[in-house]
Amino acid sequence: MSHRFNHLIKIMGLVTVVGHSLVAFAADPVTDAMSAANAPYRMALFKTNGKSQEEARQALAQAQQAWDKLGAQFGAKPLPPYDRDGAFAESVAAVSRVYAKAMSEVAANQLGAAHNTLEDARDIMADMRQRNNVVVFSDHMNAYHAEMEHIITDGANTLAQPKGLLQMTAKTGALSYLARRLSTQAPDSLSKNAEFTTLVSAVNQSVSALETALLNQDLAAVKEAIAKLKGPYSKLFSKFG
């Protein structure tokens, strides 16, 4: 199990004790501003994963502008619950540096590099919320993404091990758990949205296909199912992540 997954699963644990903690659900101006800035950020990730340099530049500029607005409003003097976070200003600056680096990479038409750079902003923002006991739906998306990427990136090496199929079965169990939480932890505004339920169902189906292939001990089908994990998640993330 990856370090990033361990880190993010701690966030998920906060949800189960909401009645006994200070967890906030986008009920403060800073978190709301962060959530608003997340929409153009998602588009920048989507566009830098494409082939159009100009579309990537425009999307990234909008994301950068949204984050700059948050920084101007709250960077020097954040509101509760972030007001006691001594690292808040540095985290805001760190996200700004990510955007600046990604913009220079887009300018050089290095879209893949810019996409990878932008991934760092997701972790910084998640860490900001975790430090301040704030949980939003994006955190559940991030947890799933982290374990999914681990399976995709390390899948071939895992399967090549003597007990590779068994190891992959264990990893897929964690992924399946996180996939189900995309439904159970979704706010009413999403769970009642027909497009959301369709897209999250596709994510769960992609994980189920991997589970079925593993139960059948079908190595070729396992590899095929792993290759098909990212598509459904990307569609869900680009719209609701």
What is the C-alpha separation between 70 and 133, in angstroms, rounded?
A: 19
The confidence score (pLDDT) of residue 18 equals 33
Per-residue pLDDT at 14 exceeds 60: no
pTM: 0.76
The confidence score (pLDDT) of residue 10 equals 42
The confidence score (pLDDT) of residue 240 equals 86
Last residue of a domain, one of 104, 131, 158: 131
Per-residue pLDDT at 20 exceeds 50: no
Last residue of a domain, one of 116, 131, 146: 131
Q: Which residues contact 76 (CB under 8 A, 6 or more apart)?
A: 89
Give the residue numbers spanning the domain of 155.
137-240
- Residues 34-66 pLDDT 10s: 999 999 999 999 899 999 999 999 999 999 999
Report the CATH number at residue 141: 1.20.120
With a pLDDT cut of 70, the percent of the chain lying above it is 89
**1 in a domain, yes or no?**
no
**65 in a domain, yes or no?**
yes
- Residues 164-200 pLDDT 10s: 999 999 999 999 999 999 999 998 989 999 999 999 9
Backbone angles phi, psi at 134, to 5 degrees: -115, 130
Per-residue pLDDT at 2 exceeds 60: no
Average pLDDT score over the chain: 88
The confidence score (pLDDT) of residue 27 equals 67
How many domains in the chain? 2
What is the C-alpha separation between 41 and 47, in angstroms, rounded?
A: 10
The pLDDT-based confidence of 241 (bands split at 50, 70, 90) is: confident
Residue type, 86: G
CB 142 within 8 Å of CB 177: no
**13 in a domain, yes or no?**
no
Distances (CA, A) of 217 to 35, 171, 209, 227: 42, 15, 12, 17
- Residues 80-118 pLDDT 10s: 999 999 999 999 999 999 999 999 999 999 999 999 999
**90 in a domain, yes or no?**
yes
Mean pLDDT computed over 12-37: 60
Distances (CA, A) of 101 to 46, 98, 117, 120, 121: 17, 5, 7, 11, 11
Mean pLDDT computed over 5-11: 42
**7 in a domain, yes or no?**
no
